[in-house]
Each structure stands twice: as structure tokens, then as C-alpha cells.
Chain A
Amino acid sequence: MSLLEYGYAVWAPLVWILALVVVGVIVLILRNRGRKSYKKGTAQGDIFLSGIAVPAEEQRHVKAANIYWGFFEALKGFYKGMMRPHTGIVNDYILWFVAVLTVTVLILLLTS
């Protein structure tokens, strides 16, 4: 019931869950061997930046537009080319529609 068979192979989610449970148990055992001198809520949990003042929350948190900076910087040309068709003008949507219709009819005519 919980086996997905395709061709020659089988995917069994319950075996995966069992494996995850085993790994989770190992993780818990390793975690419990850690130092027990940590007290929650004291100064042990505060942010430490080598003594300089910790900035306010809005400045500490990386904004969503800045998170994958390297990825977007490397693909700047690709995104410039991608943003050009995505204008938001409804007439362009129908222009693409007419273009795709003609290309589809031509392909079907040429391959029949």
C-alpha cells in the first residue's frame, strides 16, 4: 500500500522514515553527551561581537533581496535578458500568444 513501484525499482517511504528515526536517535545520543553547564536565559545566550555594540534587529537581519547576492551577481546578464519580456503590459501577452500559435501551426504543418 505504501510502496510505489515503477518499472524496475521501488520507493518505500516507511523504510525512509525508519532510517530517519534511527538517525534521529543517534543525533540525540550524541547531543546528550555535550556540556551540561549551559543555562538558558542568562548572558551565555546573548550575541557577542568581540565587544562592539550589537546593532538593532532591523540592521542585523539580512534582507530577502540580499540573501543570494553572489548568485544574482553572477547571473546579472541572464536576469537582464529575462526581465525584458516580463513587462506587465497585457498587449504583449497576446503578442506572445499569436506568435506561439503561428509557430505551433507551422510545426504541425511541417511534420505531418
Chain B
Amino acid sequence: MDFLTTHAPALIVALPLLAAFAIPLVSRAGHSARSIFSLAVLGATASLVAILAVDVYSTGIRVYTFGATLPEMALPAGYTVPVRIMFQVDGMSMFMGIVITTVALAAMLYSLQFLKGQSGQPRFYSLMMLLYVGMMGLAFTGDMFNMFVFLELASIAGTGLAAYRTGMADAVEGGFKYIVISAVSALMVLFAIGLLYSQYNVLSIAALAHYMEYSMLDMMALGLLAGAFVMKLAGVPLHMWAPDTYTVAPAGTTPMILAASYTSMYALYRVTFTLYGGHIDTAAIGWIVIIVGVLSMFIGVMMAVHQTDIKRMMAYHAISQGGYMLLGVGVGLAVLADPVALASYGRDAINGGVFHIINHVFYKALLFMTAEAIFFRIGTRDTNKMGGLARNMKWTTLFYGIGALAISGIPPFNGFASKLLIYQTVLNFSPVLSAIAMFVSLVTLASFAKVFYAAFTGPEMPAYREVREVPRSMLIGMGILAACVVFFGLFPGLIVDTIVAPATEALINQTGYIDAVMGAVP
């Protein structure tokens, strides 16, 4: 047990990576052998994540150095800078780890049934494991170049999954757009890393934050990093790839690609709060994040209400809800230098933005699964052709209703809890932003009501008289997510105190992050 706790950060990344390469071999033994193997590996990794979470929330930041005599030794003997690659797991990394693991479990359960009869399934599960490894590595790493490598790994695996259905023409187009923008963004990230390395000769995030003097080259590096991560997280005006990619990905993988976008959002926060935290005037970069957030919210939802394709509408809503997260954390970033404002509403604003990530992932995964359930049964995503589906697909209608109420911020679901935090705290910062946020919630509800009327209610269409409910394992996957949505809505205080508040504390407390590695070096 001690061994597991000590080496958990490395095992969480190593175990699915080995499994990803073993799955084509295991598939020779049949479909059920592969399903049991993938579920077993993900289950084992999830329990390792739980063990690591308990440890990090009780004892603080965990540093794991690869190749050292003891994993906690950040600095080699006789050195004053860290030269080895290390994973540094603080509250925010652990939060993202929990989000990614939950999404991966739900996606795997849903895909087991959804992919029955499709070809190339071993490669699908390998790619899913690789995407999981890429996201977890990006969340846990404490080294800038390691961040680039895991970012590229997640992008390549995500493209393979998005373009999985190569028989559909729009799927390959969505996958191609994803890899082009991912490659260009990641190369800009590497350029920025090169700029930072050329000045300070270290790659570790804590050491860079310690030695940072905000020179002209560092300013350019910050601009490049922020721009590249905003492109990867689909913030307006760099959002146009997202509807194309999220629409065509198969059912279980769209939440995973969404989680990859939010891991890029985590990387943006890591760069702005921790790497550059004490040295920049956070008001400027905070306002940039706020403007991107407000634009994302507004343009995302106005485009969403116009769409007729059900998954494309939900993809635009994903962009819009990403704007809420950016707004909350941006307000916190803008008041980071002002201790009075930070204590009274800044901390709660970051709480709201971070809490919204896990809420959004749950109800958006639920909504995407209901959309793909409809596609599974009637073969089209065009809402103009649907009608009267509630008679035969009662459970899908119920889950869609729960998801739609949650995303619009209707109490008592989880969306309301995090949106309430964002409304109240942003009101203290600027009332106009809060009014825009409430208007966007209204139009969100309007667009989901439109699709509910068009697809589920109405007379029974003769073409859909034979449509039955989706298979049970898909319903179980959706049910688990709906139960999580209701649970997070009824006990928001529990979730905020346990998972979200340590994440906010980790973001604000930059010196703690640096001291965990640099120790007592002056």
C-alpha cells in the first residue's frame, strides 16, 4: 500500500500506457476479453487516482522525480536547480485528474455497447487509453517540455478517435481540422518553451517561476502560450474547429476530447497563475481571459440556438460553457493582486469557475450520450426530421431533460450551484458581465427547449413507430452521469470544500508550488 501511494503518480501514467499497447494483443482472445481487460485497467487506474487524491488532499503537494534515488528528492545531491523530469501534483492537478478519470470511466462504459459490430475496435480502445495517458500526464506534470509532449500525445490520440468513423466524410474532415490546429498550437508552445529555456536554462515550472524576471522575451512567451492554449480550449475567436470536431466524434469519445480541451484550460491556468504569477500585472492578462470568456459565452450560445444538427448545437454550447469557466477564473486572476477583493469575492469566483469544469463535464457528457442514443436509433442528427420520440425512448427523454435543466442553471441541479457562484462574484467585479452571463443562460434554456419540443414531444411520426429504447449498458452509463448531476446539485458544499477549494488554494498559492521543489534554495 505504501508502494502504491509513493509511486502513484508514475503508475497512473504507466499502467494505461502499457495497456494501450497490450490491447491489440489481448483482442486476439476475443471481444469480451478486451472489454474486461480495458475496464480492469481503467478501474485499477481509478483506484490509484483515489489513493493519490486522499494523499494529496491530506498532506499537500506531491513531487515525484523520475530517476532519482527517492521520488521526493526534487534536487539532485549538490545541485541547486532541478534537472530531472518531475510530476508535481497539487490541488488543481488532482482536481483535473479526478475529472478526467470520471469521464474516461463513463466513456468506456458507454463505448462498450455503442461500438458493437464496428471494425477496428482494438485500435479504438488503444487510442482511448493513449488519450487518457496524455491528459493525465498534462495534468500532473511539473516540467514545461513534458507538458508539450503530453499535449501532442493527447492531440494525436484525440484525432484518431475523432476521425474513427472513416466511412463518414465529415468525420475525417473534423479529425483533419483538429490535428492541424493542434499541431500549430503545440509548435507555438514549443517555441515559447525554447524562448524560456534560452534565458533561464531550466525547464521545470517551479524553477522557472523562481527565476522569472519578466523581460521582453518572457512577455512574448506568455503571449504565445496563452494564445496557443486558448486555441486548444476552443475560446472565441479561435473556436471554429470545435463544432466540426465534437460533432463527428463517436459517442463515448466526445466527452474525452472535451476533457482534453479543459486540460488545456488547466495548462493555461498553470502558466498564468503559477509560472508568471508574481511578476506580471495580472489585471491585463486577467482582462484578456475575461474578454475571451465573455465572447465565448455570447457567440457560442447565439450560434448554438441557430443550429439544426443536434450534436453541433451541443458543441457550440460546450464553447459557451467554457466561457463561464474562463469568466469565473479570469475575474479571480484580475483581482489576484488586490488582497481585499481576493478575499471577499476573488476566491469564490475561482471556486465557481473551477467547479463549473466538473459540472459541465458531467452534464455535457450526459447530453452528448443522449444525442448519440437518438442517432443510434434513428440514424440522423438533423432535428428537422425528428419528432415524438418521447413515446418510445422514455429514459432518453428523462436524461435529456435532466441535462438540459442542468446546463441552463436551473436549481437544484449542479449547473445552478456553480453558475450562482459565478453570477454573485462577477457582480461584485462588474455588473455588466453578470448580466451577460444571465442572458446567456436564458438563451441556453431556449435552445434546449427548442430541441426538446422538436425531437421529443409532438405527434408520433410514422417513420419512428418502431423505434425502441437504447440498450441497457448505454442507459446505465447515462444513468450514472445523471445521478452524479443530481448528487452534485444536492450537495454542492461537500464538493466545493473537498475538491474545489484545494484547487483554488493551489492556484492562488504560487510560493507553495515553488517551495515544494526548490526547498530552501535562496
Asked if chains A and B come from one complex, the reply is yes
Docked pose: A48 CA to B223 CA in angstroms: 65
In contact, B227 and A100 (Cβ under 8 angstroms)? yes
> By CB atoms of chain B within 10 A, which of A6, A68, A111 has the most?
A6
Cβ 8 A contact of A108, one of B177, B219, B386: B219
Q: Which residues does chain B contribute within 8 Å of A92, judged by CB atoms?
A: 240
Verify A93–B181 contact, CB threshold 8 A. Answer: yes
A24 neighbours in B (Cβ, 8 Å): none
Q: Does B421 contact A (CB under 8 A)?
A: yes
Query: What is the predominant secondary structure among interface residues of chain A facing chain B?
Result: helix
In the complex, are the beta carbons of A61 and B387 less than 8 A apart?
A: yes
Residue of B nearest to A58 (CB): B461
- The total number of A-B Cβ pairs within 8 Å is 157
Q: Which B-chain residue is minimally distant from A99 (CB atoms)?
A: B237
Residues of B contacting A101 in the complex (Cβ-Cβ under 8 angstroms): 188, 223-224, 227
Q: Are A72 and B306 in contact (CB under 8 A)?
A: yes
Inter-chain contact B459/A60, CB cutoff 8 Å: yes
Q: Are B492 and A11 in contact (CB under 8 A)?
A: yes
* A90 and B387 contact, CB distance less than 8 A: no
How far is B464's CA from A57's CA once the two chains are assembled, in angstroms? 11
- A40 on interface, CB distance cutoff 8 Å: no
Contact check: which of B214, B231, B344, B489 meets A112 at CB < 8 Å? B214
Cα separation A63 to B384 with both chains bound (whole Å): 5
Bound together, the chains give a CA A97 to CA B375 distance in angstroms of 33
* B485 located at the interface, meaning its Cβ lies under 8 Å from any Cβ of chain A in the complex: no
CA gap between A100 and B232 in the complex, in Å:
13
Asked if B387 contacts A11 (CB within 8 A), the reply is no
Interface assignment of B390: CB less than 8 Å from any CB of chain A: no
* A67-B493 CB under 8 A given contacts A61-B388, A86-B303, A107-B284: no
Within 8 A of B (CB), among A57-112: 57-58, 60-65, 67-68, 71-72, 78-79, 82, 85-86, 88, 90, 92-94, 96-97, 100-101, 104-105, 107-109, 111-112
Question: When chains A and B are docked, how far (Å) is the Cα of A62 from the Cα of B387?
Answer: 9
Contact of A93 among B241, B305, B455, B489 (CB under 8 A): B241
Complex Cα–Cα for A109 and B224 (A): 13
Residues on A with C-beta less than 8 A from B219 are 105, 108-109, 112
Minimum C-beta distance from B281 to chain A (A): 7
Whether A13 touches B285, Cβ cut-off 8 Å, given contacts A58-B461, A68-B450, A101-B224, is no
Report yes or no: B489 in contact with A104, Cβ–Cβ below 8 A: no
Are A90 and B176 in contact, CB atoms less than 8 angstroms apart? yes
When the two chains form their complex, are residues B285 and A67 in contact, meaning their CB atoms are under 8 A apart? no
Residues of A within 8 A of B231 (CB): 97, 100
15 contacts between A and B (CB under 8 A): A2-B490, A4-B496, A6-B351, A14-B490, A16-B412, A61-B461, A62-B458, A64-B384, A64-B455, A65-B383, A78-B302, A93-B238, A96-B240, A97-B238, A112-B284
- Excluding A7-B348, A13-B411, 18 further A-B contacts by CB distance (< 8 Å) are A2-B490, A5-B493, A6-B351, A6-B425, A57-B458, A57-B459, A62-B453, A65-B384, A82-B303, A86-B303, A88-B240, A90-B181, A92-B240, A94-B180, A96-B240, A97-B184, A101-B223, A108-B284
The 4 closest A-B pairs by CB, nearest first: A64-B454, A64-B383, A105-B223, A13-B412
